[in-house]
Amino acid sequence: MASKSPKTWQRRTRRFLPVLLAGVLVLVGGLWFRATHAQAPAPKAAGGSTPTEKAATTTADATYTVAKGDISRTVIITGELQATNSRDILVPMTRAISTSTITFLAPEGKVIRKGEPLVEFDASSLLSQMAEQERSVEESGLNIEKKTKDLEAQRAGLLNNVAQAEGSLKIAKLNADIPMDLQPANTFLKYQTDYEKAKLSLDKAKEQLANFEASYDSQLTLVKIQKSQAELTLKRMQGDLNLLSVKAPQDGVVIYGDNWQNNRRYQVGDTAFPGLPVITLPDLSAMQVTGFVYDTELQFLAIGVPCDIHLDAVPGKSWRGKVKSLTSVATRKGFATTQKVFKAVIPLDSVDLESMKPGMTARAEFLLSMASDVTVVPRQNLGLDVQGRYYVLKDAGSKNPPVREFVKVGAFGDQVVQILSGVELGDKILSAQKISETK
């Protein structure tokens, strides 16, 4: 195919050049029209509001006019519902046995009356020891009888010695009274010597009898003390035996204690150590909530402050109560936290046994009046800078940015905060939180 001549290309260029210029003009005109349309007022949508009106409405919703009002604060204490009068039945501390085996338990949850059997422990080992101790008491009694007879026999022997010494003294005196002229000199000296010996023998016999009489009661008392000790030990065992059978000290509901060895509640056959609670017996005629107050909220509570009691297991119902006691020393809430808490006891004004059970989670709500008829702003309209200063954003008009004004605050409530200085009544302020989120 032959190549086209330069003249042919020139004719074709002249033919398409006007069409190309027209297309460029149309493109430039469309861009100019779109930019002008974007600056013009937007047509109203079917809903009747333009995007500009929506933004104005949002700003208006976040505006608050400073006014006066009341400040209230709600303090909530979470605790456990308990009986006001509750008795822990402990494993008895006996001298004869170190651990006790449970042989009987009243059914858990049973409403028990005072004096009814509650819990019993194995007494076989103690009964065996008591039998041996009874034999010790009998042996002590026999020892007293034997000792008495021995002492009487010893007294009789000493009395006999005195009598013999007195007879020997009389005979020696008769011999000693024979005149010296009627007998040889050596015989006279012998009789005098025998007489002195007889007097010494009588004095010795009387001294032995006197010593015996003085020690008679002490020797007899010694064996009597042994018997008394044996009887006292037997009585202690009898008292321990009585401790192994426990009757209800008051009316209440039976609640088993926790067996920490087996990680469950106590059962018949378990071995328990003395001093551990095996049963809790609460008297449900009066109930109370035992909870803990954080140290930051203790300043708002005092003895006698009323509150509403709510039970998590019974939604929609509430009861009234008042603070009965607050501990004066703070303790750690747990080993894993350093927060300090104070124990609060709140008795309920009324009891509903159909709804209330010991151990339920309870919530005490205190509605406290912090201030009345003071200048307030909502909490969302109050800001806090990095230096810890409180501020508000005053509305300076739609064409001007809001003005940050530092304020001095007073009491804090659940919804509003007292403003002591920095704003005046009637000032319009914006929500510091919404402005921060927008930025």
Whether residue 74 has pLDDT greater than 80: yes
**Whole-number Å distance between alpha carbons of 23 and 45:** 34
Give the residue from 259, 242, 238, 234 showing the smallest Cα distance to 120.
Answer: 242
**Whole-number Å distance between alpha carbons of 140 and 225:** 9
Report pTM. 0.53
Q: What is the 3-state secondary structure (H, E, C) of 182-248?
A: HCCHHHHHHHHHHHHHHHHHHHHHHHHHHHHHHHHHHHHHHHHHHHHHHHHHHHHHHHHHHHCEEEC
Reported as type and span, the H/E element at residue 77 is strand 67-90
Banded pLDDT at 9 (limits 50, 70, 90) = low
**Whole-number Å distance between alpha carbons of 56 and 50:** 10
Tokens 């809790």 -> residue: 280
Whether residue 49 has pLDDT greater than 50: no
Whether residue 408 has pLDDT greater than 50: yes
Sign of CA dihedral 80, 84, 89, 94: positive
The answer to whether 213 and 159 are in contact (CB under 8 A) is no
**Whole-number Å distance between alpha carbons of 99 and 103:** 13
Reported as type and span, the H/E element at residue 82 is strand 67-90
**Whole-number Å distance between alpha carbons of 259 and 278:** 8
Over residues 235-245, the mean pLDDT reads: 89
First to last CA, the chain: 71
How far apart, in Å, are the Cα atoms of 141 and each of 220, 223, 229, 239? Answer: 12, 8, 12, 22
Maximum Cα–Cα distance for the chain, whole Å? 212
The answer to whether 365 and 310 are in contact (CB under 8 A) is yes
Give the residue from 17, 84, 50, 90 showing the smallest Cα distance to 279.
Answer: 90
Banded pLDDT at 431 (limits 50, 70, 90) = confident
Whether residue 278 has pLDDT greater than 90: yes
Identify the pLDDT of residue 331. Answer: 83
The answer to whether 130 and 233 are in contact (CB under 8 A) is no
**Whole-number Å distance between alpha carbons of 145 and 62:** 105
Over residues 140-148, the mean pLDDT reads: 91
- Which of 51 and 113 is assigned the larger pLDDT? 113
**Whole-number Å distance between alpha carbons of 341 and 331:** 6
Over residues 125-144, the mean pLDDT reads: 90
DSSP 330: -
Contacts 24+ apart (CB under 8 A), 169-173: 169/195, 169/198, 169/199, 169/201, 169/202, 171/198, 172/197, 172/198, 172/199, 173/198
Identify the pLDDT of residue 56. Answer: 33
Over residues 142-152, the mean pLDDT reads: 91
Tokens 């010795």 -> residue: 204
Whether residue 123 has pLDDT greater than 60: yes
The answer to whether 435 and 381 are in contact (CB under 8 A) is no
Give the residue from 238, 260, 243, 269 showing the smallest Cα distance to 105.
Answer: 269
